[in-house]
Amino acid sequence: MGTPKMNKPSPKIGYARTSTVDQNLDAQIEALTAAGCGMVRQEQRSGATLEGRPELKTILDFIHPGETLVVTRIDRLARSMQDLQTIVARLKEKGAHLAATEQPVDTSTAAGKAFFDMLGVFAEFETNLRRERQAEGIKAAKRKGVYRGRPPKIDMAAIQTKLGAGLSPTEIAREMGISRGTVYKAKAEMLTGGEIIEGTTA
């Protein structure tokens, strides 16, 4: 009876990132190497977007089925849940996985995938909670009479009509709740357009 063959561990590709060249990558590289990464790609660029990160793009383009992209923490990979989910979707299309050395994230296992899915739920919950708080704040401000919303669009034609009726800029500004400068602007537009209003007072 022959000796049973041991399954060869799937290759791991490390990705280390800092936002600026002033920050040191050594700790990440050491942790990724210790985790079994035979290759560690590194770059010092912002993680605010997936654009402009050639090393990450290379990994996503050439990673093979069964391989795992390893980071120390998922914020080294993406700064938003949307970008992170985009990366995981790309890896899934390739038959590859994502793992983190400092967090229980490993999409090749049921527990790790569940943790990752839970992160998405929390991110969505936080977004909805922020929207609810914003809506509640607006309601409270309206009750107190301090919320005005977006400034209304100024009706220049209405100003010009009032100017034509002989009202002064001060009277128009007070009546419409606008600045006198806005009234003078409307008046200048009238004059520029060749319309000279008789009886208009300054």
| Type of residue found at 29 | I
Rounded Cα distance between 17 and 24, Å, is 9
Query: Among this protein's residues, is 19 annotated catalytic?
Result: yes
The backbone torsions φ and ψ at residue 101, rounded to the nearest 5 degrees and listed phi first, read -80, -30
Q: How crowded is residue 104: how many other Cβ atoms within 10 Å of its Cβ?
A: 13
Residue with tokens 């009234």: 183
Structural contact between residues 14 and 32, judged by C-beta atoms closer than 8 angstroms = yes
Catalytic residue among 19, 46, 108, 179: 19
SS3 category, 68? strand
| 8-state DSSP, 14 | E
Residues designated as active site: 19
